[in-house]
Each structure stands twice: as structure tokens, then as C-alpha cells.
Amino acid sequence: MKTVILTLTNPSELMLEGQNITPDNFAGKKAAEIATLDVWEGKQKGPLGRYFTVEGDGGATAAETKIILRGDCTRVKRIGQQMTAGEIIIEGNADMYIGGWMKGGKIHVKGNVDSFCGIGMEGGELVIDGEAYHHLGSSPRGEWRGMKGGLIRVAGNVGNDTATFINGGTIIIGGDADIHVSTHGEGGTVIIKGNAKGRVGGQMVKGDIYVYGTIENPLPGFKLVDEVEQEVDGEKARFAHYIGDLGERHPVSKGKPVYANIYTRI
């Protein structure tokens, strides 16, 4: 695997749209070619090299390309958007849409990220050591087919509207979640190791949510059915098991209606 190191030496005045910073776009290119790829600052298009110094060449394929971003990328958006393979390491913070629509590969952010990270995700892995903001692993605006697969792991807290319209894949949150988790969910798993504020699983049809702490305002559409012991993210625990959202339509499988599940740790 070959490594390309991007160092932000000349920060943009406006936020930088960096959707070309992916292993797919860097693969097969020399450092000098990578520096000519387009990024957008507002409506102005410029070469990547205007803002970053580029060291190292891309690998032959995306899977053989690793990108390391250094410097303060708090205002660089869309890193790793639509990537299919390879690896990106962001050594500090990053802005919105990191790993949006990603299909494969791995992104590791060592700091915090803003909203819309991992939206429309289909596969791969997005690991955030700090916190994430709103719409983590959510569906793009208007879209009713949300996250389809992959894994998002956030060590800290997340904002609201996590996993809207989730269809598959897993989101693991180490801290607390703000309101609206898995709204309209039709599959997938969300694990919240801290507390959740409320509106957890609203209009959810299918899929699972685990909350280790408390749900401040649980929804009336969920009903306690039993207690279960389950292994979650490598550890075993006992959970109170709720089904719902009972106000929604539910698909029928083998003659029985399928419900969404919320598990809260006992």
C-alpha cells in the first residue's frame, strides 16, 4: 500500500469542498498529478496543491492507496465522499460529509467531525475518535433509502437525527445521542452506549436500537415485551426489550408482523 500525505499549509478563506480527496481519485496518480485535482472554495475551483502540500504517490488501485491528512481540516468537507476502497486517516478534525455515500474502505478521523458524516453509506468503515454532529449515518435530504451497510463508530457524543431511514449497517456511539434516532428506520442497528434524549425510533418499522443508559423521553409507540440477554459489540448484557413503532405499518414475515426493537440495558 502506498501512502499520500496531504498537509494543509494554506487554509482556505471559505470552507473547502474536498470530494476529490478519495483513494479512488488518487489511485494511479503521481504526487504532482494529485496536486492538480480540483477542489472548490465557494464557487471558485482551484487545484488541491493551492491549499495542501502533497507528498507521495497514489497506489495502482484505490485499495492500495492510503491518504493521511495533516493540519487543521476543520473546514474541509466531503473527504472520502463516495470512496469504494483504500484508507484515509485524518489526524485532526474535519468538516461535514466525511465518508458520505462511501461504499468501501476505511476512514479514521482522530478528532471531531461536523454534520452529515457517513450519510447514504453503503459499506466500509468510518471511525471517529472524537464527536460527530447532526445527521450521522442519515439519509440524504428527501431520500427514503438511508444507510445500507457498513460500520460507523463514534467515540464521543452525536447530535440529532442519527440514522434517519437506516436500512442496514451498524452505528456505534460511545457517548450520548441527541433527539431523533433511527427515524423511519427499516433495518440496521444503532448502539448508543451513553444516554439518548428522546424520539428514539419514531416511525421505525424494522431494525434495532440499543441504549445502554437512559432514554430521557421514550416514545409511547413502543411497548415493553420481555427481558433478553444479548451480546452487543463484544460484550454480554441484559436488556429490556420494547417493540414498535406501533403507530406505523409493519411488514409481515411468515405470518407474523415484523417490529422494530429498542433494547435498554438493565
Interface residues with another protein (CB under 8 A)?
140-144, 249
**Chain centroid to CA 17: how far?**
18
Q: Is 131 or 186 the residue whose CB approaches another protein more closely?
A: 186
The pair phi, psi for residue 187, each rounded to 5°, is 155, -170
Backbone angle region of 169, left / alpha / beta, with phi > 0 → left and psi within -120 to 50 → alpha: left
- Cell numbers at residue 68, please? 493521511
Q: Is 91 or 248 the residue whose CB approaches another protein more closely?
A: 248
Q: Is 70 or 148 the residue whose CB approaches another protein more closely?
A: 148
Cα gap 171→189, rounded to integer Å: 6
Residues 260, 264, 265, 266, CA torsion sign: negative
Q: Is 143 or 227 the residue whose CB approaches another protein more closely?
A: 143
Q: Is 194 or 221 the residue whose CB approaches another protein more closely?
A: 221
Instruction: Give min distance, CB of 49 to another protein, in A.
Output: 22
Where do we find the cell 419514531?
202
Instruction: Give min distance, CB of 241 to another protein, in A.
Output: 26
Instruction: Give min distance, CB of 164 to another protein, in A.
Output: 13
Instruction: Give min distance, CB of 82 to another protein, in A.
Output: 8
Instruction: Give min distance, CB of 40 to another protein, in A.
Output: 11
**DSSP-assigned letters across all residues of 39-90:** EEETTEEEEGGGTEEEES---SSGGGEEEEEES-BTTEE-TTTT--SSEEEE
Q: Is 142 or 255 the residue whose CB approaches another protein more closely?
A: 142
For residue 168, the cross-strand partners are none
- Cell numbers at residue 128, please? 471517529
Cα gap 114→94, rounded to integer Å: 7
Q: Is the peptide bond before 245 cis (omega within 30 degrees of 0)?
A: yes
User: Which residues, 6+ apart, have CB-to-CB distance to 36 below 8 Å?
Assistant: 47, 48, 49
Instruction: Give min distance, CB of 214 to another protein, in A.
Output: 32
Cα gap 79→96, rounded to integer Å: 9
Instruction: Give min distance, CB of 260 to another protein, in A.
Output: 15
- Cell numbers at residue 112, please? 471531531
Q: Is 9 or 144 the residue whose CB approaches another protein more closely?
A: 144
